[in-house]
Amino acid sequence: MPDRPRGVDHLLPLKPKVLHVLLTLADGPRHGYSIMQEVATRTGGRIRVWPAALYGALRELEELDWIVESDTRPTGDDERRRYFALTPLGTRVLGAEVRRLEAIVDHARASVALRRLERA
């Protein structure tokens, strides 16, 4: 019997820093420092992932099979850098979290009370 994709809803919600790391890797392989810079840029500096927390998270995400070390790297790049990429499971987890967050935003937009607050 072939492997069936595992459901991922039980893995949600994601911690904000994990979500931002996965979002960054969705655009392609990156090394740790690049991930830190991109998260800070995308969030206007509101979320910062410091080295100790990042490398611990990357190790955990590798163990969960959400990311994998990538062989893809720019030509002439420092060979000591480790690049990471999303796995198919990591992509499914990220997609499920984005859909979960979209549903929350949809409910908020449909809220009569919230619309009243916006007009005030």
The domain limits of the chain are 14-119
What is the block-wise mean pLDDT of the chain (120 residues), using blocks of 10 residues?
70 96 97 96 95 96 97 85 96 98 93 75
Q: Which CATH architecture has domain 14-119?
A: Orthogonal Bundle (1.10)
**Confidence at residue 64, expressed as pLDDT on a 0 to 100 scale:** 97
* 70 in Cβ contact with 81 (< 8 Å): no
With tokens 């949809």, the residue in question is 106
**Confidence at residue 24, expressed as pLDDT on a 0 to 100 scale:** 98
**Confidence at residue 91, expressed as pLDDT on a 0 to 100 scale:** 98
**Confidence at residue 1, expressed as pLDDT on a 0 to 100 scale:** 44
Record the pTM: 0.87
- For the CA atoms of 92, 93, 94, 95, the dihedral, rounded to the nearest 10 degrees, stands at 50
